[in-house]
């Protein structure tokens, strides 16, 4: 199997796990108050966005190699 | 008053001081992260300006970067952000063993990301002959920004290793764990910076 396909598959599967975990944690902590928790919420949201970007890159939807 | 009572009182004062200064510590640490954000922003905007001033990107003679590998390596780093978040949550809830497992997983994933970056650098330098000083703006900006980020990840891995040692020695308690909170904030920051770098170098 081509190495790039393995990398893409890994990126998509692991990316889905990370995105789900990030957004679930964000959902769970949504009502938490205080500066610290609000910063964590922002960070979790951006982490989830990053995971989605990695999924899309893995699926060849975005990135240099997208057709 | 006995020595034991004095020690207890001194300890109590320290705890009171800790509670009173907790918000200040947090604000100080957030200011540090903001200053680091400014540092990265200046490099990122300089890179974007130079990129848009040139004749196409990447410059002629340089191959495009390996997106599938970068996507996989990015997920490794983002995964470490999730494990670090769960390490903190488990510590807050008193699940010490789970906290240690998630903390160690974060260190392993962070080291894995650094190994992946090392592999990519080796491939670029020896395979593609792209270097920091000899490949124009592309090489200089790529190695400066990703290298600076890699240095932050390395410092984070060292910091988390210290956290493991301190936690094993019983330094942190359920009411006194700012070091772990700071470590989690720092690690999330490193993740978020990579979201930006991944986007500008590999996706657009």
Tens of pLDDT, residue by residue over B108-159, are 999 999 999 999 999 988 887 777 777 778 888 899 999 999 999 999 999 9
Q: Are B81 and A23 in contact (CB under 8 A)?
A: no
The residue of B30, B40, B78, B85 whose CB has the most chain A CBs within 10 angstroms, and thus the best one to mutate to test that interface, is: B78
How long a stretch of residues is chain A?
Answer: 67
CA distance B97 to B103: 10
Distance from CA of B83 to the nearest CA of A (A): 9
List of chain A residues with pLDDT < 70: 1, 64-67
The rounded mean pLDDT for chain A is: 88
B5 confidence band (pLDDT: 50, 70, 90)? very low
Is residue B169 over pLDDT 90?
yes
Quick check: B203 and A51 CB within 8 A?
Answer: no
Which pLDDT score, from 0 to 100, does residue B14 have? 59
Best of A2, A5, A7 to disrupt the B interface by mutation (most B CBs within 10 Å)?
A: A7
As a whole-number percent, the residues of chain B with pLDDT over 90 amount to 62
A-to-B residue pairs, Cβ atoms closer than 8 angstroms: 115
What secondary structure letter does DSSP report for B204?
Answer: -
> How many residues are given for chain B?
204
Please indicate whether residue B6 or residue A22 has the higher confidence score (pLDDT).
A22
Chain-wide mean pLDDT for chain B?
A: 87
**Residue B4 confidence (pLDDT):** 43
Calculate what percentage of chain B has a pLDDT beyond 70.
92
Chain B interface, best mutation among A2, A18, A37, by max B CB count within 10 A:
A18
Nearest CA in chain A to B196: A50
Q: CATH no. for residue B93?
A: 1.20.120.80
Please choose, from the candidates B178, B157, B145, B166, the residue with its C-alpha nearest in 3D space to the C-alpha of residue B80.
Answer: B157
The pLDDT of residue B13 is 58
Is the pLDDT reported for residue B194 higher than 70? yes
Convert the pLDDT of each residue in B94-106 to its tens digit.
999 999 999 999 9
Asked if A47 lies within 8 A of B185 by C-beta distance, the reply is no
Structure confidence at residue B58 as a pLDDT band (50, 70, 90): confident
**Structural domain for B110, as ranges:** 3-203
- The stretch B185-200 carries a mean pLDDT of 95
pLDDT of residue B55: 66
* Stronger pLDDT, B95 or B11, i.e. the higher one: B95
Domain count, chain B: 1
Cα angle value B71/B122/B197 (rounded, 5°): 35
Nearest to A47 by CA among B89, B66, B85: B85
Those residues of chain A whose CB sits closer than 8 Å to some CB in chain B are 4-5, 7-8, 10-11, 14-15, 17-18, 21-22, 25, 35-36, 39-40, 43-44, 46-47, 49-51, 53-54, 57-58, 62-65
More reliable by pLDDT, B82 or B66 = B82
3-class SS at B115?
Answer: helix
Q: What is the ipTM of this complex?
A: 0.90
Looking up tokens 């809830």 gives B93
pLDDT at B8 over 70: no
């Amino acid at each position: 199997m081509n190495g790039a396909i393995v990398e893409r598959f890994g990126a998509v599967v692991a990316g889905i796990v990370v995105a789900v975990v990030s957004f679930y944690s964000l959902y769970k902590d949504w009502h938490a108050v205080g500066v610290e928790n609000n910063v964590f919420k922002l960070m979790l949201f951006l982490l989830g966005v990053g995971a989605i970007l990695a999924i899309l890159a893995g699926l060849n939807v975005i990135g240099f190699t997208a057709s | 008053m006995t020595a034991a009572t004095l020690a207890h009182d001194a300890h109590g004062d320290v705890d009171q001081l800790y509670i009173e200064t907790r918000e200040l510590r947090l604000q100080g640490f957030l200011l540090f992260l903001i200053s680091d954000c400014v540092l990265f922003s200046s490099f990122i905007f300089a890179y974007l300006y130079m990129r848009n001033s040139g004749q196409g990107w990447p410059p002629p003679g340089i191959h495009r970067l390996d997106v599938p590998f970068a996507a996989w390596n990015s997920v490794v780093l983002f995964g470490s952000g999730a494990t670090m978040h769960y390490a903190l949550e488990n510590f807050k809830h008193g699940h010490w063993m789970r906290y240690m497992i998630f903390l160690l997983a974060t260190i392993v994933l962070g080291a894995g990301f650094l190994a992946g970056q090392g592999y990519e650098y080796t491939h670029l330098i020896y395979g593609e002959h792209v270097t920091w000083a000899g490949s124009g703006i592309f090489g200089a900006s790529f190695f400066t920004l990703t290298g600076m980020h890699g240095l932050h990840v390395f410092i984070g891995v060292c910091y988390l290793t210290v956290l493991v040692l301190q936690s094993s020695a019983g330094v942190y308690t359920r009411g006194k764990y700012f070091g772990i909170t700071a470590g989690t904030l720092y690690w999330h920051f490193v993740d978020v910076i990579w979201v930006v770098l991944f986007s500008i170098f590999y996706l657009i």
